[in-house]
Amino acid sequence: MDKIRIGLFIPCYIDQFYPQVGIATFELLQKLDIEVVYPEKQTCCGQPLANSGAEKEAIPVYQNFVRNFSEFDYIVTPSGSCAYHVKEHYNILEQTEQVKRVRANIYELCEFITDILKIDDLKIDFPYKVGIHQSCHGLRGLKLGSSSELITTRYSKVHRLLEKANGIEIITLDREDECCGFGGTFSIFEPHVSVKMGKARISDHERNGAEIITATDMSCLMHLEGIIRRENKKIKVVHIAEILNNNRL
């Protein structure tokens, strides 16, 4: 049988500021015996524009995305938020076969591993106390887990992957899935509330003994890291792709 061929989408801020997350994602997928292609003309999913109210201006960005990714079996990205944006908000494009394909086949990294590859145990080591920050768009948008507001069966794809890691201790948070306050351009339009939310998120992790905060979205972590570094805190942020790729800290 032919190898699964995926298009790797590396969100703009990861490309520019966190290449190690892109590299970890790329390496991990290759190890899983997948043909990974990174279309080099990709830019961004367009979410920063659309969330600012400039959905119309984002259309050429969306079109560029579709042009770059419509030929693959799946599109995989280390971001729940970008995947959700493509799925949910590319509805304003004309729904051509390519657009439909892209929207249907885009996956956040963890859900791609658990749902498409059907793998739970990646045989990794991570001997740290870890707090999982459930990024909102992954959790409530893509339903990577059950969100605390809904009265449904509890599950979490991210936990499923991480709890198999050797030596890991996943801590329980007081507020299991509260927003970190990043929210894209929200972090700029509402800096005070954004930072206050970030601080609360960090102290929840600290209070419960986490050494590492991980998440499916580097954007949340970028925001939290910004506060951690400003306040010289000890706790660290690590994107989940780096853990799943068995990177050493």
Partner 1 sequence: MKGHSYKAGIFLKDESRADWHDKTLWMVRQKRDKAARSVADWEDLRERASSIKEQVLSNLDFYLSEFEQRAVENGVKVHRASDAQEFNEIVYKIVTDNNAKLVVKSKSMLTEECGLNTFLEQRGLEVVDTDLGERIIQFRKEPPSHIVLPAIHLKKEEIGELFHEKLNTPKGMSDPVLLTSAARTHLREKFLSAGVAITGVNFAVAETGSVVVCTNEGNADMGVHAAPVQIHCMGIEKLVPQTRDLAVFTRLLARNATGQPITAYTSHYRKPKPRGEMHIVIVDNGRSDRLKSDIHRSSLKCIRCGACMNTCPVYRRSGGHSYGYLIPGPIGSILAPSYNIKKHTDLPFASSLCMSCSNVCPVKIDIHDQLYKWRQELSEKGAFSPVKGLVLKIAGFILSKSALYDFSGKVARVALKWLPRRMVYSKINVWGWERELPAVPQESFKKWYSKNSGKNNL
In the range 196-215, which residues lie near partner 1 by CB under 8 A? 196-198, 200
Task: Confirm or reject binding of residue 186 to partner 1 (CB under 8 A).
Answer: yes
Q: Which stretch binds partner 1 (CB under 8 A): 54-62, 112-120, 154-162, 209-217?
A: 54-62
130 in Cβ contact with 164 (< 8 Å): no
Task: Confirm or reject binding of residue 32 to partner 1 (CB under 8 A).
Answer: no
Closer residue to partner 1 (CB): 49 or 212: 49
Closest approach, Cβ 88 to partner 1, in A, equals 8
Residues near 79 by beta carbon (within 8 Å), at least 6 away in sequence = 9, 11, 14, 108, 216, 217, 218, 219
Task: Confirm or reject binding of residue 16 to partner 1 (CB under 8 A).
Answer: yes
> Residue from 7, 22, 80, 131 that binds partner 1 (CB under 8 A)?
22
Closest approach, Cβ 217 to partner 1, in A, equals 12
Task: Confirm or reject binding of residue 187 to partner 1 (CB under 8 A).
Answer: yes
Which tokens sit at 124?
A: 């990794």
Binding mask 64-93 for partner 1 (x = CB under 8 A): x------------------------x----
Instruction: Give the span between the Cα atoms of 175 and 136, in whole angstroms.
Output: 13
Instruction: Give the span between the Cα atoms of 4 and 247, in whole angstroms.
Output: 24
Closer residue to partner 1 (CB): 3 or 175: 175
In 3-state terms the chain splits into helix, strand, coil percentages (rounded to 5) of 50, 15, 40
> Residue from 97, 149, 167, 248 that binds partner 1 (CB under 8 A)?
149
How many residues appear in the chain? 249
146 in Cβ contact with 154 (< 8 Å): yes
Q: Is 39 helix (H, G, I), strand (E, B) or coil?
A: coil
